[in-house]
């Protein structure tokens, strides 16, 4: 990837040359001159110990990043919408309970 294509919040596929054996996915948290800090979101179970040691974060060179093509019906989008809806419902329930007191 080129630096111009790398934006905070973008979900990307990545590979590590040293720490993690299999390709993984992560969310860009910070952009540096030639690399980006990723919060690891999806990985192969074989790398679980390495991910834990890294606290689910890793710095990856731009050349080891790739764009993940998300469709309209992608699972990530659906999960985010569900979480937001559940949060709204919980907030409404809390507010209603407080008003009853």
4-30 pLDDT, tens digit each? 888 999 999 999 988 899 999 999 999
CA distance 11 to 95: 34
Contact in structure between 9 and 33 (CB atoms under 8 Å): no
Helix (H, G, I), strand (E, B) or coil at 15: coil
Could you give the angle at the alpha carbon of 65 between the alpha carbons of 60 and 70, nearest 5°?
130
Mean pLDDT of 25-43: 94
Q: Six-digit token pair at 65?
A: 């990043």
Half-sphere exposure of 50 (CA within 13 A, CB side): 17
pTM attached to this predicted model:
0.65
Alpha-carbon distances, residue 36 vs 10, 31, 55, 86 (angstroms): 11, 4, 16, 32
Spatial separation of the C-alpha atoms in residues 98 and 85, rounded to whole Å: 20
Q: Given this model, what pLDDT does residue 82 score?
A: 45
In the chain, how long is the greatest CA-to-CA distance?
58
């Amino acid at each position: 990837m080129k630096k111009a294509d790398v934006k905070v919040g973008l979900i990307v596929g990545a590979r590590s040359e040293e720490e993690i054996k299999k390709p993984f996915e992560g969310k860009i948290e910070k952009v540096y001159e030639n690399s980006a800090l990723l919060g690891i979101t999806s990985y192969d179970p074989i790398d679980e110990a390495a991910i834990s040691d890294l606290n689910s974060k890793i710095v990856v060179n731009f050349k080891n990043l790739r764009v993940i093509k998300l469709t309209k019906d992608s699972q990530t989008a659906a999960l985010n919408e569900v979480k937001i809806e559940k949060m709204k419902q919980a907030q409404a329930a809390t507010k209603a309970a407080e008003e009853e007191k």
